Structure 1
Amino acid sequence: MSGSLTLSSRSTRSRRRRRRETWRWVAIAVISMVFLFPLLWMFLASFKTSLDITDPGAMFSFSPTLKNFENVFTQQDFGPFIWNSFVVGAVSTLVSLVIAVPAAYAMTRFTMNRSAGMLLVARIIPGVSLLVPWYFVFSKMGVVGGYLPLIVSHMFVALPLIAWIMLSFFEGIPVDLEEAGRVDGLTPIGVFLRIALPLSVPGIATASILAFIFSWNNFLFALVLSGEATRTLPVAIFNFIAYSSIDWGGLMAASVVITFPVMVMALFTQKYIVSGLTAGATKG
């Protein structure tokens, strides 16, 4: 009798587990559809004519065309805009790494709590509140429209972001390893370069990816501080918006061009992004 009751309870628990698993996958599918449907619509619309885009019945049944992408790369000449976005993103990320990584290491090892708090304040301050002062200063310097204002403004977000991520990584490195390096004759700088820095490569990769993605997608800073020769992709997309009409096909094709590199980067580096964002979450 007791054996049959045990089998019955196990069967009940098994059914409950299967039911929970089924509902979990249903929830994942629904949430994925909600987030992925706009991307799917954008991708399909990039191969449609303007007439097909505005026709609800032509959601999936349409004759694909490459004229929108031809418009993006020939008539609108998006090549220089892609290069500008890459230059601004790469340089601002690289310079921020050179400054933020040693700063994060120093704040971790010398317990600079106030400096770490200032980093948090810098992340809280909205960048839009500094656009007018930035424009005033850069216009007085005569550099508005060049690469320098864009790089500096993007560093305002990238630098504290990188430093904040690296704080958690350096806190996770055992101090015993660095003490062993000092015993072997390494200077503090040598300990940082030969021990701490190699061990923090996953954190550096995470911070670099997130900083570059922010710079690639940034619109507001480039709208105000860029010029005709330094216009980046998010600003160049306005070329498809006229006073009386919108080229929806070209707009969607340009959106695909902007989104695709970032999506590919995120897919191939998601392991580093997750590990960077969760570093130090279980410490203590």
Structure 2
Amino acid sequence: MTANAAPRRAPLSAGRRRRHLARLRGVAVTVVSLIFALPIVWMFAAAFKTNVQVTDPTVGLVFSPTLENFRNVLRDGEILQAMRNSLIVGCLSTALSALIAVPAAWAVGRFRMHRTGSVVLIARIVPAVSLLVPWYYLFAQAGLVGSYTVLVLSHMFVSVPLILWIMIGFFEGLPVELEEAARTDGLSAFGAFWRIALPLAAPGTATASLLAFVASWNNFMFALLFADEDTQTVPVTLFNFISYASTDWGGLMAAATLMTIPVVLAAVIGQKFLVAGLTAGATKG
């Protein structure tokens, strides 16, 4: 080795490598979080601005806030009625969907009925917009357009496959020996499901139900076509802030903030079940 040769660097230890990777993951998570949080922060800030301030690019996060947008939105009570309608439709469609999909998911997972599960998956593949015309004709003939019934049924078209496919993986991850032991003690197959599998599947059921409720709460297309003035949901009410001539951006952002609060509260309250359910449903065996 010559005297001018540069000394070789010692390889990084395993501990230092892990620390470097942890820092890189932290930076990546922070960047992604900021990208997703930016529209929400802008929406929340715009709810406290005037329409002139919302459309002025020089006005950032430093401004004099006003509550006028929230007063205007809440004055006629339309947004509160829409939130009530969304809550009714979301709770009913989620409860009925879970009542149907959870036992079906257990049957598909335990008895390996994957062809049946694939048929249900078609409902997630077929574009819902392709069904709107025949649905509207059938529901109009039955006199259901404008009622809660048609909204609940249409939202179940989305919720049932969603809950089913989340719960299939969850039930497949549960030890089958527990149900076999219950069958040995004299329980029927459904009794083993009711007394053993269903209580163990509570985190997954809560996760699937929460996601189905959020999907129903945010659904716009079905409510736009099937609801009337008395049953319209929050997304349709938000759409009414947009007109051909102008858009009430302040009122729209205030209404969007009010629409977001219940979903955020539900996610925060159900965070423990949400994380446990998604983790358990992602693994098998």
Provide the rounded CA distance (Å) in 1 between the counterparts of 2:175 and 2:13: 47
1:183 corresponds to which residue?
A: 184
2:149 corresponds to which residue?
A: 148
2:204 corresponds to which residue?
A: 203
Letter paired with 1:54: T
* CA shift digits 1:89-145 (9 cap, x unpaired): 000000011111111112222222211111222221121111111101101111111
Asked if residue 237 in structure 1 is aligned to residue 238 in structure 2, the reply is yes
SS of residue in 1 equivalent to 2:58: helix
For structure 2, the 5+ residue unaligned runs are 1-8
What TM-score do the two structures reach when normalised by structure 1?
0.90
Percent sequence identity is 55
Instruction: Identify which range, 136-145 or 172-181, moves more after superposition.
Output: 172-181
Q: CA deviation at 1:178?
A: 1.4
2:5 corresponds to which residue?
A: none
2:100 corresponds to which residue?
A: 99
SS of residue in 2 equivalent to 1:58: coil
2:140 corresponds to which residue?
A: 139
Letter paired with 1:154: H
Instruction: Identify which range, 93-102 or 272-281, moves more after superposition.
Output: 272-281
Q: 1:227 to 1:47 in 2, by over 3 A?
A: same
Letter paired with 2:206: A
Provide the rounded CA distance (Å) in 2 between the counterparts of 1:123 and 1:242: 32
Instruction: Identify which range, 167-176 or 147-156, moves more after superposition.
Output: 167-176
Provide the rounded CA distance (Å) in 2 between the counterparts of 1:279 and 1:204: 11
Instruction: Identify which range, 104-113 or 248-257, moves more after superposition.
Output: 104-113
Q: CA deviation at 1:18?
A: 4.7
Provide the rounded CA distance (Å) in 2 between the counterparts of 1:277 and 1:14: 30
Provide the rounded CA distance (Å) in 2 between the counterparts of 1:181 and 1:233: 46
1:160 corresponds to which residue?
A: 161
Provide the rounded CA distance (Å) in 2 between the counterparts of 1:161 and 1:11: 46
How many residues were matched structurally?
277
1:57 corresponds to which residue?
A: 58
Q: 1:118 to 1:278 in 2, by over 3 A?
A: farther
Provide the rounded CA distance (Å) in 2 between the counterparts of 1:32 and 1:168: 28
1:263 corresponds to which residue?
A: 264
Q: 1:15 to 1:275 in 2, by over 3 A?
A: closer
1:5 corresponds to which residue?
A: none
* CA shift digits 1:162-211 (9 cap, x unpaired): 11111112112222211221222222222121111111101110110000
SS of residue in 2 equivalent to 1:57: coil
Provide the rounded CA distance (Å) in 1 between the counterparts of 2:182 and 2:17: 55
What TM-score do the two structures reach when normalised by structure 2?
0.90
| C-alpha RMSD of the superposition | 2.0
CA contact (8 A) 2:50 2:250 kept: yes
CA contact (8 A) 1:76 1:239 kept: no
2:248 corresponds to which residue?
A: 247
SS of residue in 2 equivalent to 1:216: helix
For structure 1, the 5+ residue unaligned runs are 1-7
Q: 1:199 to 1:14 in 2, by over 3 A?
A: closer
